[in-house]
Every structure is written in C-alpha cells, then in structure tokens.
Structure 1
C-alpha cells in the first residue's frame, strides 16, 4: 500500500485579504488624512472640519503659535467660529460690538466691549484679545451700580475722648474743634477738659484756629528759646495782635492764662470795637467788679459779640479764674463763629445781650448818602 501525503486542509470560510484590497484601503485612509490635514492647514478654507475634532470654538494653536488663547465661556454654534483668513490683525475700536450673521447672537451681557473692524476686506470675526474669556466671565455676572444718596462730607467725625461724656457742658464745642484738628487730645485718648492752659499752649491753639500770617519782625523774648516748641506759634500770636508780652521782653510761656486774658486776646485779635454802653453790658455779670480796669472795654466787646461762655452760671464771669481747656475750646469756637468760619450752636452757657450791640463803625459826623437815581433810598 502506497503512503499518500497528508491531505491539505480545507480552506477556511474566511478568505485572506488580498494585496490589491490592502492597497485600496491604504490609499483611502491616506486620502482622508490628506484632506483633513489640508482643510486644517489652510486658513482661507470654507470647510469646517475643526468642529468635528474639537467641540470648543478655540482657534487652533497653529494659527497663533505665539499666543495661548483661553477658552471663552461664550457658547457658539458649530459654524460660528474658527474661520481664519490671511488678512492682517484687525483694528480694535471701543464701540458697539457686532458678530457675523451666521453666528448665534448671545445676550448683550456676554459680548466683548469692542467692535472689530478689519483693515481690508470684511471677513468673519474672531476674538483677538486674550482677555475675551475674562471679560465674558465678568460681564456674565454684572453687578448693579451703586450711587451714593448724597456727597460725603470732607470733615472727619469728632474724636471720642474717653473723659468727655455726652452730658459734659462743652462737649459740642470740643467736638467741632477736634473734628477740624484745631484741638487735639493726649496719647491716652483723653482731652482733660478741666486742665489749665498756659500761654504757650494758648498760642498754639490760636495758630491752629486762625492761621494768621507770620510777621517778619518777630520779638526775641528772653524766656523763649529759639528751639522752644511753641516759638513759631508765639511769634504768630504776637504779630497778629492776639497776645502781648511782658516788660523786659518776657513772655512767660509756662504761666497759666486766665479767662479775662483769653477774652481780651480774642477781642484784640478780631479787632472788636468797644461798645458805647460798656458798663451797661457788663452789668449782666454778678461779679463785674472783679474785671480789671484795662479789660473792661474788651470784655464788653466780647460779650456783645457772643464770645463769652460761662459755666455753670452764665451770669458769673469769674474773670481772674484760670481758663480750662474746655472753656478755651468754647470761646475759640465762638470767635470762629463771629468770623463766619463756623456755624453757631445753641447752648445755655453762651452769654447773650440781644438788646445791646457793639458801636457802629460809622463816625458820628458821617451822614447816610442818598441815591437819587434809585428813588431816594439811602445806601
């Protein structure tokens, strides 16, 4: 019996891929890849294959290799963006924004605050600013505008001194002057309203309150060194007529100032005229006999002008009593009211003389002029 070679296995039901078929498939994939590559690389192509690969409307990094554009939060239709052109960068002008006709028009809050105008032929627009996403995110959460009801005051609030209670008689005078930095407190947030005031301190207060021009002919007091802290204020108070020195070219800066000296200084610095009825004005004080003779005319002028503030009894002047910081604050306030720099406040401690006024500035021989052209009314 002759041995036969083993029979060949029967061919499978699946036929192996032929060479021609393999070549055809390879050519097909190569063609598709070339078409995709060509559509992505050409900037003026009207084909929109990019949206098939990426759902985000962010331009390709090949178009802007030197910029990294953030993905904007604005959602557009698939055919609204990613159309590139070869024209130069568009000029940006801060006007009303506009979008192409084929784009989905978002709400006004989501539009960037610029109108894009191309320098050549009009083409579909793309956001050229790298802050597009940042502006869109801010615009999407628009905040309401807040308009103040009234303009803010330029005057700061008064200082809340820990030793000046609300029921203190001179609280309102102190508040007004402290808010304008005319009077200041101490490092421990106290004002010490009952503490005496010396002549150097009073000169410094006058300098802050009235800000008079400094005279070039300053007096060199023997008891005021050139390095003394209040030397400029003393020179200003002397040159402006508020204060005077003592004999032998002394000023006595450390001497406590009395109430009558404060009122005489204010009446002298403000050039108040002595009333003709000085004695009648001074009669409202129960202690008028205690007023020094040299000061009677000045005290009467200060009283008629509303500068005198007496506590606790308005009819008791106590002229020779040492003036406290609270009393100086009240009288300085009233002097500024007299000048028209401050508004007056109501206080039961202000001495009023409504029926008596200072002497008029017109001389007795002067007669009122008659304006005939105005119908005979006097000027």
Structure 2
C-alpha cells in the first residue's frame, strides 16, 4: 500500500434558492416596508377612541404650527369647532374650544359655528371675528345714502331775563316796565345791583337812554357845545340826541349835561323825536290835569300830543302831571317804554298809571273833535 496524503475534506455543496423561497422573502420585505410606510404616514394622526365610543362628546383637536390638516372638509357637528387650514409658520395655530361651565347656559357660552375657510393668513386670528367696516366704507355709505337736504334756520333772538334789582320790589308800580327795558339792555343798574328808581336823571343820562332805546341815524351835524368836552362819556349820545331831534341845546352853545331834566322836558323830547303831530285843541286834552296851568307854554302842544299817544305816566295820581318836577329814573323808563310801544317796537302793558284818552287821537279832524267833546269831558271827570 502506498502512503497517500490525507484527502481534503469535501466541500459542502451549495444549494441554490428555490423559486418559492425567493418569493417568500420578497413578500416579507414588501410587508415590512408597507408597514413602515403606513406607520410613518399616519404618525401625526391621532385616533380618538372616546369620539368613536360617545358621538356626543366634543373632540379637542390639537393643531401644531407646522401641521397641514387633510384637505377634506370635515363634517360640522353641534358644539364643535371646524378645522381651519393654517399656513406654515403661523405662531398661534392651536385652537381649543371652551367648555361651558356648570350652571351657565350652554347656548350662550358655546362658541359660534362658522363654515370652514380654505386658508387663513398668518396675520389673521384663527378665531372667527365680526367684520369691521373701515372709515372709507362708512364715508361711502353716508355719501350713497339719501339724506334730506336741511337748510339751517335763522337763529331767533333770545331775550335774556331782566336784572333782579334789589331795590325794585315786585309790587313797585313801574316794575314791569323796568324789567322789559332791562331784558333788552336799554337800562342798566349800578354795580351794587340797584336801580335807584327814585333818583333824578340829568340831561346827559337822559341822552344816553335815548341812544340805547332809539337806534336812529344821524341826520344833522353835531354841535360843539362849550360845556361838553370831546372826551366826555356822554358826548356821542348827546350828539345823536341833538341830531335826531330829541333834544336841543341852550343859548351860547351850551347843553348843561349835569342839569336834572324835568318831566315836561322828557315828554317834549319824546314827542319831538317821534314827530308826534300836535292836536288842534291841545288845551282840551290838557284840561284833564289838575295842574295844567303849571305846564310851560313851549311844552303845551308837545305834552298834549304825548298825552293823546299814551306816553304820559302819572304816579300816584293820574290827574296830577307835575310838569316841572324832576323826572326820576323809574318815570323816565316808563315813558321811554311807552314811546317804544307807540313805534310798535314793544307790546303795551296795562297799567292804571298811564293816562288814556279813549276815542281821542292827535289826528282827529275839527269835526270829529267837536263830536268827541262829550267823551273828552267824561274822561276828564273820571280821572
């Protein structure tokens, strides 16, 4: 026998994979891949088993900033909030519905249901808001609306209340006349809220009252009185009273502004300024006064015209004229009031102190006056 080297071990024979085995491996890998793909694609979706078990429960979806919800439109159920597709990078994307508290009305506290919108920009709030109209829309709506054309009416003059003078009581005989002139700014009181109704009136003060009461244009040139300085407080009023015919000066171009004015001078001034026509028989009219003989001759016709026009006011006795008595502030105020009534600027006030002559006027013809003698005599006997 020959020595032979040991024989090498025989290599095992490799058996090739069968077709069935290859198919099995391929199916296994495909199954694993499908499971991995399905799990990755459904990773962000959450299953709410409570919603499946109790349909009336309210879902609480949680939306992440970078999450894109499915494009399918969800079904809107009562007391639910629709899903809203937000653009990426929206900082406030989480929307949680408020649960109504116990004891409150769920219909009042539950959020309103709005149809889902396709897309919301990052600058908008995810909560539904009521549309707010801009100023442009407001202006356009006002312009387009049919508004009535309103023309502003002329403002009516409002007469302020009279000054409550502390020395003019309610039962004062001339209170109503003073109140009317005070409310129109014709007369004023003193700084201590007094009127001083029994204080005398001088010629300068009377000129100032005429300027307030009668707004007349200057018809004549002013006279430079020697006793009236240019800067005297009543110079404009004196010039107007002279130019309009209410007052006259004295000889030597003097006016005597500080001289107290008499009742006769007041009546003559008013009759002259109003251009009252003198009656044909002034003495008949003046006979109603017990002191008619005291009337100056220059004032006879003027006072008769003033009497017939209702300008004369006698207090306390209407039959006593007291023509040379200094006129008081109350008497001047009442006579100026009556002059304005004669012009139709004020309404008349009924007073027992106003001298009235029924059925007598300065424009009566001689024939009419003869027929009115009886009435005139009766009127004189009654006063």
Judge same fold: TM > 0.5, yes or no: yes
Q: 1:84 to 1:218 in 2, by over 3 A?
A: farther
Residue 224 of structure 1 pairs with residue 228 of structure 2: yes
Pairing of 1:183-332 with structure 2 (within 5 A)? 183-215=187-219, 217-332=221-336
Match of 2:133 among 115, 128, 133: 128
Count of residue correspondences: 266
Match of 2:342 among 332, 338, 342: 338
Contact 2:308 2:357 (C-alpha < 8 Å) held by counterparts: yes
Note the aligned Cα RMSD (angstroms).
3.9
Cα distance between partner residues in 2 of 1:172 and 1:82: 80
Match of 1:181 among 185, 194, 206: 185
CA shift for structure 1 position 157: 1.4
Match of 1:39 among 77, 80, 85: 85
Contact 2:207 2:234 (C-alpha < 8 Å) held by counterparts: yes
CA shift for structure 1 position 155: 1.2
Pairing of 1:346-365 with structure 2 (within 5 A)? 346-360=350-364
- Using the size of structure 2 for normalisation, the TM-score is 0.61
CA shift for structure 1 position 218: 1.0
Cα distance between partner residues in 2 of 1:351 and 1:345: 13
| SS of structure 2 residue aligned to 1:336 | helix
Cα distance between partner residues in 2 of 1:225 and 1:84: 94
Pairing of 1:75-114 with structure 2 (within 5 A)? 78-79=112-113
Q: Which runs of 5+ in 2 are unaligned?
A: 1-36, 47-61, 70-82, 100-107, 121-127, 136-154, 367-383
CA shift for structure 1 position 128: 3.0
Cα distance between partner residues in 2 of 1:82 and 1:322: 98
| SS of structure 1 residue aligned to 2:207 | helix
Cα distance between partner residues in 2 of 1:278 and 1:245: 25
CA shift for structure 1 position 244: 0.4
Q: Deviations over 1:164-201 (max 9, x none)?
A: 00110000110110010011111111111001111111
Q: Deviations over 1:266-307 (max 9, x none)?
A: 000000011012101000000000000000000000000000
| SS of structure 1 residue aligned to 2:68 | helix
Q: 1:76 to 1:289 in 2, by over 3 A?
A: farther
Structure 1 or 2, whichever has the larger Rg, is 2
Contact 1:309 1:331 (C-alpha < 8 Å) held by counterparts: yes
2:170 corresponding residue in structure 1? 166
Cα distance between partner residues in 2 of 1:127 and 1:291: 87
Q: 1:129 to 1:192 in 2, by over 3 A?
A: same
Cα distance between partner residues in 2 of 1:296 and 1:161: 35
Contact 1:40 1:50 (C-alpha < 8 Å) held by counterparts: no
CA shift for structure 1 position 159: 1.3
Q: 1:129 to 1:318 in 2, by over 3 A?
A: same
Cα distance between partner residues in 2 of 1:172 and 1:166: 9
Q: Which runs of 5+ in 1 are unaligned?
A: 1-19, 43-48, 56-73, 87-102, 104-123, 131-150, 363-379
CA shift for structure 1 position 32: 3.8
CA shift for structure 1 position 345: 0.7
CA shift for structure 1 position 152: 8.4
Q: Which runs of 4+ in 1 moved over 3 A?
A: 22-29, 35-38, 49-55, 74-77, 79-86
Q: 1:277 to 1:199 in 2, by over 3 A?
A: same
Cα distance between partner residues in 1 of 2:118 and 2:361: 89
Cα distance between partner residues in 1 of 2:211 and 2:87: 80
Cα distance between partner residues in 2 of 1:171 and 1:339: 21
Cα distance between partner residues in 1 of 2:358 and 2:337: 19
Cα distance between partner residues in 1 of 2:302 and 2:205: 22
1:13 corresponding residue in structure 2? none
1:113 corresponding residue in structure 2? none
